[in-house]
């Protein structure tokens, strides 16, 4: 065999030459192809090298944002109302999820959710960058957290994020004022293009959480992590600490707030307490409260629907958005206008027979039997309608409106809370414009006692009462005492703002204050239920008619359907001789002011004077002369 192989034909020189040429050609082709590779290598590594280096850097580094602790909210005494606690959310990072379908199937099982719920969330976040987390489920419990952490290696793309969440130490107290947090939505993102906010951030959705979001939120920290292709962190490269948000100190005294809400019980309505001589809000209550604990991390649709349909309208912030006929509290305005315009003197008397005829109609007094001959003092103390019908008729709607406006009615108070309503104080011009009809004289009767077209918010009535109490100064209602950074230094501090002075002389105010003191302290007064042992309280009740239905005229209040019952008002200040605090209460569909609203005010005042015993209260340095 081997021998045979030895006889292999040798190549003839011509053929050898040809084949050698072909090897040379082959060499040339190979070298050319190698040159292409080298040029390509140069192109990738030298020419475009920095570009690819950047891409590889982006591949491996992931910025993890560190949530900044949100500022606390304190009451005026430094009592913490809102603090933070950790909340665990399940998030989805698309960039790290090579097999979304399988992972989501598993995750849905762990979360006990339908996979479509997860897919909807992912779709909603489809426009955001791939490396930013999309929330799949908020506020998971401990067992779920453990289940996810234990299966982390089977769930690439799924992470648990820890976010500080709000802890409402007083439950639902002052819920409308405080507001709540929620995940930032597209409109909010579009409105804040400066980079402060990112998809997935929590942002204040109402109340001070929204208004002061930029103070409270602080600055996020950043942690640069090296991750592998599945997004698992390998090591931390560098970090930048988060800057905690500023604390917010309210003017609200949480003790008074508590007293107000406790006294209101499950009734709907509003309580406003304010410092007479500064405009500082001491309590601002809207009931029913918002279920803040259910809001943390998105409001469930059914809860929202329930809130919308509730006849007690929990979504309306009643002290500033609820507009009610002021009822007899408005007699303060009519009295001020009557005295100032000299259509009456304190001694002017009218006879109340229980009703008065005008044109072909009879206008009744709430006291069917009549008050007999009444002067201004008794008219205020006992709330005689017939007296004020006649004062109002002498004044006319436009004059009354001037005085009402000067006391802050019909105009917004300027409180910085959202969607404040202005109420309504009618004039003849307004009626003509609004209804294309001239003013009817009979309508003056109604508006003189705060019915008809008159509308006011509880905050406006409170501010009006404060102006009467302090001699005519209209302060802007404010609720922020101070903004402090995390070291406790002041970022900004409260300063009282005077918005104007009401019409009417100090003497006139004193006459009215006397009448209001009578209402609380005299035997026939309408508000004796607000009387205190150690402090003289002065106030005015009111009953705002919702509808006047003949069929319910004779029936007792409790038989009238809830939504047709009258609103009960009471507004007061104390102490009578040196007013410090004004309290206004509105009980929706609560019936009479004296029986329904005044006891609430009494509870607030009692609490206030427990904390500020009348003997030892030093005079407020900023106080203008309270009495002439």
Partner 1 sequence: MLRFDRRLLQNVDWVLVGGVLLVTLMALLNLYSATRLNNAVGLSAFFKQLYFNLMGFGLILLIVMVDYKTLITLSYPLYILGLLMLVVAMVFGETVAGSQRWIDLGFFRLQPSEPAKLILVIMLASYYYRKDTGKGFTLGELFVPIILTLIPFVLILKQPDLGTALMCLFVFASMTLFVKLRWSTFGILAGAALAALPVIWKLLKPYQRQRIEIFLNPESDPLGSGYHITQSKIAVGSGLKFGKGYLHGTQGQLDFLPERHTDFAFSVWAEEWGFFGSLLFMACYFFVLLWGLNIAVTARDKFGMLLAFGIVALLFWQAFVNLAMIMGLLPVVGVPLPLFSYGGSSLLTNLAGIGLLINIRMRRFMVAT
Which chain residues interact with partner 1 by CB under 8 A? 1-3, 5-6, 8-12, 15, 18-20, 22-23, 26-27, 30-31, 33-34, 36-38, 40-42, 44-46, 48-53, 55-57, 59-60, 98, 226-230, 234
Select 34 or 63, whichever has its Cβ closest to partner 1.
34
Select 18 or 547, whichever has its Cβ closest to partner 1.
18
The phi and psi torsions of 108 (rounded to 5 degrees) equal: -60, -40
Select 42 or 435, whichever has its Cβ closest to partner 1.
42
What is the rounded distance in angstroms from the CA atom of residue 43 to the CA atom of residue 30?
Answer: 20
Residue 573 structure tokens: 């200040």
Select 60 or 507, whichever has its Cβ closest to partner 1.
60
Chain mean position to CA 206: 4
Select 96 or 420, whichever has its Cβ closest to partner 1.
96
Tell the smallest beta-carbon distance from residue 20 to partner 1 (Å): 6
Select 60 or 548, whichever has its Cβ closest to partner 1.
60
Select 11 or 308, whichever has its Cβ closest to partner 1.
11
Tell the smallest beta-carbon distance from residue 161 to partner 1 (Å): 22
Tell the smallest beta-carbon distance from residue 147 to partner 1 (Å): 23
Q: Are 601 and 554 in contact (CB under 8 A)?
A: no
Parallel, antiparallel or unpaired: strands 581-587 and 269-275: antiparallel
Tell the smallest beta-carbon distance from residue 223 to partner 1 (Å): 17
Bridge partners for 32 per DSSP = none
Which residue in the block uniquely carries the two structure tokens 């469930």? 300
Tell the smallest beta-carbon distance from residue 37 to partner 1 (Å): 5
Tell the smallest beta-carbon distance from residue 246 to partner 1 (Å): 40
What is the rounded distance in angstroms from the CA atom of residue 454 to the CA atom of residue 400?
Answer: 11
Q: Are 82 and 248 in contact (CB under 8 A)?
A: no
For 293-349, the DSSP string reads HHHTTS--HHHHHHHHH-TT-TTS-HHHH--B--GGGGHHHHHHHHHHTTS--TT--
Select 23 or 550, whichever has its Cβ closest to partner 1.
23
Helix or strand run (H / E) with residue 165: strand 158-168
Tell the smallest beta-carbon distance from residue 27 to partner 1 (Å): 6
Whether cis (ω within 30° of 0) applies to the bond prior to 72 is no
What is the rounded distance in angstroms from the CA atom of residue 117 to the CA atom of residue 188?
Answer: 23
Q: How far is CA 620 from CA 282, 579, 625, in A?
A: 15, 10, 10
Tell the smallest beta-carbon distance from residue 135 to partner 1 (Å): 22
Select 127 or 190, whichever has its Cβ closest to partner 1.
127
Select 55 or 622, whichever has its Cβ closest to partner 1.
55
Select 17 or 109, whichever has its Cβ closest to partner 1.
17
Q: Are 382 and 519 in contact (CB under 8 A)?
A: yes
Q: Which has the closest alpha carbon to 322: 295, 291, 293, 284?
A: 284
Tell the smallest beta-carbon distance from residue 22 to partner 1 (Å): 6
Q: Are 588 and 325 in contact (CB under 8 A)?
A: no
List all residues 6 or more positions away from 603 whose beta carbon is below 8 Å from its beta carbon: 259, 260, 262, 263
What is the rounded distance in angstroms from the CA atom of residue 279 to the CA atom of residue 467?
Answer: 10
Q: How far apart are the first and last CA of the chain?
A: 139
Tell the smallest beta-carbon distance from residue 2 to partner 1 (Å): 6
Select 33 or 146, whichever has its Cβ closest to partner 1.
33
Q: What is the dihedral of CA 501, 505, 506, 509, to 10 degrees?
A: -90
Tell the smallest beta-carbon distance from residue 152 to partner 1 (Å): 15
Residue 520 is given by DSSP the state: H
Tell the smallest beta-carbon distance from residue 87 to partner 1 (Å): 31
Tell the smallest beta-carbon distance from residue 44 to partner 1 (Å): 4
Select 228 or 441, whichever has its Cβ closest to partner 1.
228
- Spell out where 180-254 has E strands: 181-183, 202-204, 221-227, 233-240, 247-250
């Amino acid at each position: 065999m081997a021998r045979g192989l030895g006889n292999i034909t040798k190549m003839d020189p011509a053929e050898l030459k040809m084949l050698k040429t072909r090897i040379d050609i082959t060499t040339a082709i190979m070298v050319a192809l190698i040159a292409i590779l080298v040029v390509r290598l140069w192109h990738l590594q030298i020419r475009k090298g920095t570009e690819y280096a950047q891409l590889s850097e982006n591949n491996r580094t992931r910025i993890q944002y560190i949530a900044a602790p949100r500022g606390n909210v304190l009451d005026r005494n430094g009592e913490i109302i809102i603090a933070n606690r950790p909340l665990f959310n399940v998030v989805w990072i698309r960039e790290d999820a090579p097999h979304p379908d399988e992972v989501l199937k598993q995750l849905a099982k762990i979360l006990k959710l339908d996979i479509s719920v997860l897919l909807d969330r992912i779709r909603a976040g489809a426009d955001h960058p791939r490396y930013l987390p999309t929330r799949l489920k908020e506020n998971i419990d401990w067992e779920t957290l453990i289940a996810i952490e234990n299966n982390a290696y089977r769930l690439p793309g799924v992470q648990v994020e820890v976010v500080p969440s709000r802890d409402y130490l007083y439950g639902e107290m002052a819920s409308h004022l405080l507001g709540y947090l929620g995940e930032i939505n597209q409109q909010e993102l579009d409105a804040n293009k400066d980079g402060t906010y990112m998809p997935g951030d929590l942002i204040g959705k109402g109340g001070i959480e929204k208004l002061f979001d930029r103070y409270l939120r602080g600055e996020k920290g950043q942690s640069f992590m090296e991750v592998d292709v599945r997004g698992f962190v390998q090591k931390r490269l560098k970090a930048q600490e988060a800057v905690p948000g500023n604390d917010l100190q309210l003017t609200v005294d949480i003790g008074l707030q508590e007293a107000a809400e406790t006294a209101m019980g499950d009734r709907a309505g509003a309580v406003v307490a304010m410092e007479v001589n500064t405009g500082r809000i001491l309590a601002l209550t809207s009931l029913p409260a918002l279920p803040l604990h259910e809001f943390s991390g998105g409001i469930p649709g059914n809860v929202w629907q329930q809130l919308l349909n509730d006849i007690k309208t929990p979504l309306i912030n009643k002290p500033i958005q609820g507009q009610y006929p002021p009822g007899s509290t408005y007699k303060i305005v009519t009295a001020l206008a009557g005295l100032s315009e000299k259509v009456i003197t304190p001694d002017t008397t009218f006879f109340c027979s229980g009703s008065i005829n005008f044109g072909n109609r009879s206008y009744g007094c709430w006291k069917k039997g009549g008050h007999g001959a009444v002067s201004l003092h008794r008219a205020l103390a006992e709330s005689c309608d017939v007296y004020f019908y006649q004062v109002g008729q002498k004044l006319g709607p436009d004059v009354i409106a001037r005085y009402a406006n000067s006391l802050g009615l019909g105009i917004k108070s300027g409180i910085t809370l959202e969607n404040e309503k202005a109420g309504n104080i009618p004039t003849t011009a307004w009626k003509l414009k609004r209804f294309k009809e001239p003013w009817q004289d009979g309508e003056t009767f109604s508006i003189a006692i705060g019915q008809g077209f008159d509308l006011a918010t509880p905050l406006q009535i409170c501010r009006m009462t404060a102006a009467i109490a302090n001699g005519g100064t209209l302060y802007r209602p404010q609720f922020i005492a101070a903004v402090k950074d995390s070291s406790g230094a002041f970022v900004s501090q409260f300063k009282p703002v005077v918005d104007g002075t009401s019409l009417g002389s100090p003497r006139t105010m004193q006459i009215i204050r006397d009448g209001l003191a009578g209402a609380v302290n005299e035997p026939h007064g309408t508000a004796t239920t607000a009387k205190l042992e150690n402090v003289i309280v002065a106030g005015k009740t009111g009953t705002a008619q919702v509808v006047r239905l003949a069929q319910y005229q004779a029936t007792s209040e409790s038989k009238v359907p809830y939504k047709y019952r009258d609103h009960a008002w009471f507004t007061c200040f104390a102490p009578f001789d040196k007013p410090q605090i004004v309290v206004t209460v509105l009980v929706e569909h609560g019936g009479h002011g004296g029986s329904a609203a005044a006891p609430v005010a009494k509870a607030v005042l009692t609490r206030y004077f427990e904390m500020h015993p009348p003997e030892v209260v030093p005079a407020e340095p900023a106080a203008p002369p309270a009495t002439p």
